Amino acid sequence: MSAPTSPQGKGRGRNLSTDDYNVYDDAKTYYTTEDRHHNHRAGARTRTYSQNSLFKQFERLGLQKEPYRRGSHDESTIPHSRRFLIQVEPTLQSLQSQEDTDGNMQITIEDNGPKVLSLRTAASNGYNRFDIRGTYMLSNLLQELSLAKEYGRKQIILDEARLNENPVNRLSRLIKDHFWEGLTRRIDASSIEIAARDPKDWTDDPRPRIYIPRGAPEQHEYYTKVALDRPELRLDVQYLPEKITPEIVRDMNAKPGLLAVDMEEVVDPKTGEKTLRGRPFVVPGGRFNELYGWDSYMESLGLLVNDKVDLAKSMVQNFCFCIKHYGKILNATRSYYLCRSQPPFLTDMALRVYDKIKHEPGALDFLRQSLLAAIKEYYSVWTAEPRLDPVTGLSRYRPEGLGVPPETEAGHFIHILEPYAKKHNMTFDEFVYAYNHGDIKEPTLDDYFMHDRAVRESGHDTTYRFEGICADLATIDLNSLLFKYETDIARTIRNVFHDKFEVPDDWLNPGASKLETSAIWDRRAKRRRLAIDKYLWNEQAGMYFDYNTAKREQCNYESATTFWALWAGVSTPKQAAAMVTKALPRLEAYGGLLSGTEESRGEIGLERPNRQWDFPYGWAPQQILAWTGLYRYGFNEEAERLAYKWLFMITKAFVDFNGVVVEKYDVTRPIDPHRVDAEYGNQGLDFKGVAKEGFGWVNASYIYGLQIVNAHMRRALGTLTPFETFMKAVEDNRNKALSELV
């Protein structure tokens, strides 16, 4: 099939039939191509006869039996080319009133309509009808009609293939063509009105505000001009102070704002003048507008598979900007995150992008800038106090900060703070202000919020694994990531930069060497591996545990982060085998890897509610890193099995629940794993008619996971075959083949 040269199908000098178009075009192309929705194939209706007149005709002709009579529900065209002639609004209303019985603008297995709707066929010019049956096809119809309506169509010619499409292909296509676009942001004049307005701004005068680092005066000039040209925005453009301290960040909480990210110089096509344009990035979910830390790495894995290399590259460049100007890859680019980072993945992200672009001009400079940023971050953030534990030589999530984290919901800490307000005979707000500014000293609260900030920096907010102790923990996840930094930097300096890597003054940390060589990074990696083995490895359990640097003892929470050591290459082959034998059976569930074991989480109830990073929930990052790590050590079957389970769970929920793709899943639930009963709810559920974004790292895990499973598994996923059924079929086929050889 040939694709149109333009979305409108113009400029070809001839009328096009729908055969000239790709059935699986993205929605914008599909629904804005005018010619596609004209019914070229409809001609005069074939004459039909009553049964009696037909019988008499055949009697006269001497035929003994009746011919096959086409009924009104029959269609002469082959199934793959069947198309429907649909009036969008009436059909949408009819579909919803009949099938969406719970009125949530979705058609799921929980709706109790008849699950069948007749559509008029295009080949018969709407005379014949064909039944659309089942939740999956009807929910796809709802999605397609919602999109058609959104693009202003009154009537469409709809290909049946879009309704009964293999669900693996459909979800993969939606991620590539729609979800990434729905999650892509850029910060500049085109978006500043929305992006700079913070939904977590609890102040009396919430307004769009952006903070610019001193090292980017061109951005300050750009946004100042935007504010002057569009006074109705009330855009507040502020320079950041030269030195960022916890006190400054605390005081900025009265005026929270967006932090600037990288921009590129372009020529305005309207004026011909040079201007700035924001470098794009992908956000975790549809409600976000700022750049997030480790979400971005996971998303980049899917972007690279989908050949969206420029977007992944742009995200690395945004990270380098953050490290250069803010000192770290931030939790997210809002002012109240300035003291807090997230799990570091920059070296692997940059190297994966470089591998795709290394033959392009400027690729080596891209890698050099990325390496400079990673080295600066390594020195100034992860191996500097307070995050470095000088006794073990291991690192901790331990961000600086003062007072109550301001980005939480207004009442988030009421139960913690109210007793202190009563103790000091103050109102709640009076106490918070006095405590934040040091007028009242409460060491117990200081300790509580130090650990709370550390949990947020870890990315695992929240879990009983970290409650009340996070800032004291040398975790296996963080130290695996830093081991990966050390080995990545050593290898890149040695293999790409000929073992001499010069650090210019604007990237140099105080006291650091201007010339980096691979040997020193090799030694750092060796020291960290020895420390991980000494403090974090547990031979008896066959897994890694966190180490409490305050109590000087190993913890006992069984976490899926043990497999991060495989991803980073920390483990010996013997340790890897022990994890597969001992740890994996404890952490594997119906839908993939659990975040942690039920025993480690402990009993839950009204006084001890569930946490979202505990049993029974599974998260995309845990799956991705485990698959990659298992493959690295040759445990291909285990990697494929875990990937299959995760992909099956996502696909089944996608089919049964109107195309849903969410932030996290209950991996113990076969029927509705997207139902998550933990704090913060589940991002990705709030849509009407059709999902537009999915969720960033789950999208990536799906695309990436399809590279892990084999072709036979992918076919089985498309037929929604549970893993046990699939394995039984494989075993039966193997036995049959063996028996035929005997």
| From 111, 299, 461, 656, the catalytic residue | 461
Cα–Cα nearest to 688, from 660, 663, 650, 665: 660
Q: Which of 348, 663, 666, 693 is catalytic?
A: 663
Are 289 and 198 within 8 A, CB to CB? no
Q: Describe the crossing of helices 294-305 and 309-326 by its angle, rounded to 10 degrees.
A: 160
Instruction: Write the DSSP string, 509-520.
Output: PTT--SEE-HHH
Instruction: Read off the DSSP letter of residue 65.
Output: S
Residue type (1 letter), 401: G
Is beta strand 588-589 parallel, antiparallel or unpaired with respect to 592-593?
Answer: antiparallel
Helices and strands: H and E segment counts in the chain = 27, 22
Which amino acid belongs to residue 17? S
**DSSP one-letter string for 338-386:** TT-B----HHHHHHHHHHHHTTSTTHHHHHHHHHHHHHHHIIIIITSTT
Whether the Cβ atoms of residue 21 and residue 33 lie closer than 8 Å to each other? yes
CA dist 41 and 18 (Å) reads 9
Phi-psi region of 353 (alpha: psi -120 to 50; beta: other; left: phi over 0): alpha
DSSP 5-54: SSTT--SSSS---GGGS-TT--HHHHHH-GGGGS-TT--SPPP---HHHH
φ, ψ of residue 105 to 5 degrees: the values are: 60, 30
**Strand partners for 83:** 159
CA angle 630, 632, 636 (to 5 degrees): 50
Alpha carbons 402 and 142: distance in angstroms, whole number: 50
How many C-beta atoms surround the C-beta of residue 100 within 10 A?
A: 20
Cα dihedral across residues 463, 468, 474, 479: positive or negative: positive
3-state SS assignment for residue 657: strand
| Backbone Cα Rg of the chain | 29
Helix (H) or strand (E) holding 87: strand 83-87
Q: What is the DSSP string of 473-505?
A: EE-HHHHHHHHHHHHHHHHHHHHTSTT-EE--G
Q: Is residue 719 exposed (0-12), middle (13-18) or buried (19+ Cβ within 10 Å)?
A: exposed
Rounded to whole angstroms, the Cα distance separating 420 from 452 reads 18
Per the annotation, the verdict on 666 as an active-site residue is: no
Contact by Cβ (8 Å): 209, 253: no
Instruction: Kindly provide the b/e burial profile for residues 265-285, where b requires at least 16 CB atoms within 10 angstroms of the residue's own CB.
Output: eeeeeeeeeeebbbbbbbbbb
Catalytic annotation present for 477: no
The one-letter amino acid at 447 = D
- Take residue 584 and report the two structure tokens written for it: 């994996």
**Catalytic residues, which ones?**
461, 663
